[in-house]
Chains A and B, each alone.
Chain A
Amino acid sequence: MTDDRLHKALEFANYRQTFFNQKQILKNKSQALLSYSTQGGTFKVTQELIAFVGIFVQQEYEEMVLLDINENPIKIENLKSFLNEITSRYFEVTNDYHKQYSEMQNKRRTAKLVEPA
């Protein structure tokens, strides 16, 4: 094995490590942004929460009590608006995650991965 081959392999290992780390940074960022606060409570915006609230909005409930991340009961007074808010937050964050991740996938060099957008 020539030194050049080894050098390339090590360079690629560095690239992979940086890529993986940047992906985790994006993932943690999405996780942090997927939260929504209202009425003194905070909710983690998940697919389950959206589906759960969606069921009751479809059944024309106008308000309901939900447990927030601290398991405090929070009365949501305008359920439809709450659903709109969490849904748009979900799309905003996941679309941004997708966009940034796609951009990263096209970058084949370590330095490019951390270049400002």
Chain B
Amino acid sequence: MSQGIVFFAHNNTEIDYGSVAIANATMIKHHMGINAITLITDEGTMRHMNDTWDKDIIENTFENIKVIKRRRIDNNKRYRDTRHTVNLLPFYNINRSTVYNESPYDETLVIDVDYLICNDTLNAVWNHKENLLINNKSFDLLTGRHDNSFDRVDDFGIDFYWATAFYFRKSPEAEMFFNLLESIKANYPYFKTLYGITSYNFRNDHAFSIAVHMFNGFAKSGLVKHLPVDFLQHTLDYDELYDITSKGSLSFLLEKTSEPGKFIPARTDGINVHVMNKYSIVRQSKKIVEVYNA
């Protein structure tokens, strides 16, 4: 049974997802001891990666790199770099459902490049009894700050599931799930309306939430199980990842709930963190690789 991790990285005009993928893959290799990492990317991102990074680093980081043809899509997302900067940029995220066919592994863990891995807890997924595992809980690193839109897709809607990290084993059940995701994506305006989703852009978390709800028999039956650690942890795009002091140690500035634009410091050791401020990871990506290769 082959086991491995799949990343997706598609740059836009400002966010260098390729660099974030290299940094996170370096962290994964160290903390999870996994070398089987496949990157799914596009020509432009690959070209930029080759210009930015040493060829040896790219080759040593990924086991496979699959370059796909990027389609022209109209999907924009608001990217924040703390409260001080906000940009509406293209977000290429429509190929996540193809991972079932694209993954070269029998057992695949799909991780968003911005979910920085600092421990080996996700290794518990391998050889799991379940064919599909995905979480619906994520804690904010700042205690007391809570975003209701991470609980449900809509105030009166279904549970929100995080496509940030999920596991599947190639099986008829998982194949059916990804086929379902494909049809949700193909008919997204319909499903979006049906499930009361008001955001304009296509979001994988929402598509996965719909698919899980349907897979659960249109009920909150919990047939789709969660990952071994049943929650993720995240920082918002209002926050800043400002340093990596050593392997697995991340330093953040978290925006105070009561005083927007002001921060409190926080440090994590050995905790996987979904960092939503992509700009701040890009800024730290070279340092991450340096720290881990030292």
Binding site for B on A (CB under 8 A): 14, 17-18, 20-22, 24-25, 28-29, 32-33, 35, 37, 40-42, 69-70, 72, 74, 100, 110-111, 113-117
Contacts and interface: CB of A to CB of B under 8 A. Distances in A.
A115 B266 CA distance: 9
A25 B141 contact: yes
A22 B266 contact: yes
B264 interface: yes
Interface of B: 119, 121, 124, 127-130, 139, 141-143, 225-226, 228-231, 233, 245-246, 249, 251, 254, 256, 264-272
B130 to A, nearest CB: 7
Contact of A41 (B129, B266, B271): B129
A33 B121 contact: yes
A37 B143 contact: no
Given A18-B266, A41-B129, A114 B229 contact: no
A28 B233 contact: yes
Contacts of A14: 264
Contacts of B124: 35, 37, 42
Contacts of B233: 28
Contacts of A22: 266-267
Contacts of A74: 129
B143 A42 contact: no
Given A25-B268, A37-B124, A42-B228, 7 more contacts: A17-B256, A18-B266, A22-B267, A28-B233, A32-B231, A110-B264, A114-B265
A117 B265 contact: no
Contact of A40 (B128, B266, B270): B128
16 contacts: A17-B256, A21-B254, A21-B264, A28-B231, A29-B270, A32-B119, A32-B272, A37-B228, A40-B129, A42-B128, A42-B228, A70-B130, A70-B225, A110-B264, A114-B267, A116-B249
Given A29-B270, A72-B129, A20 B229 contact: no
Contact of B266 (A37, A42, A70, A114): A114
Q: Which one of B129, B233, B256, B272 has the greatest number of beta carbons of chain A within 10 Å?
A: B129
Contacts of B129: 40-41, 70, 72, 74
The 4 closest A-B pairs by CB, nearest first: A37-B124, A40-B129, A114-B267, A116-B245
A21 B143 CA distance: 6
Given A41-B129, A42-B124, A116-B245, A35 B228 contact: yes
Contacts of B142: 21
B127 A40 contact: yes
A21 B129 CA distance: 36
A60 B272 CA distance: 39
A18 B127 CA distance: 40
Given A40-B127, A70-B225, A18 B265 contact: yes
Contact of B269 (A17, A110, A117): A117
A32 B265 contact: no
B70 to A, nearest CB: 36
B5 to A, nearest CB: 17
Nearest to B268: A25
A28 B139 contact: yes
A24 B249 CA distance: 16
Contacts of B139: 28
A111 B243 CA distance: 14
B169 to A, nearest CB: 10
Contacts of B272: 32
Contacts of B265: 18, 110-111, 113-114
Nearest to B249: A116
A29 B251 CA distance: 15
A17 B265 CA distance: 10
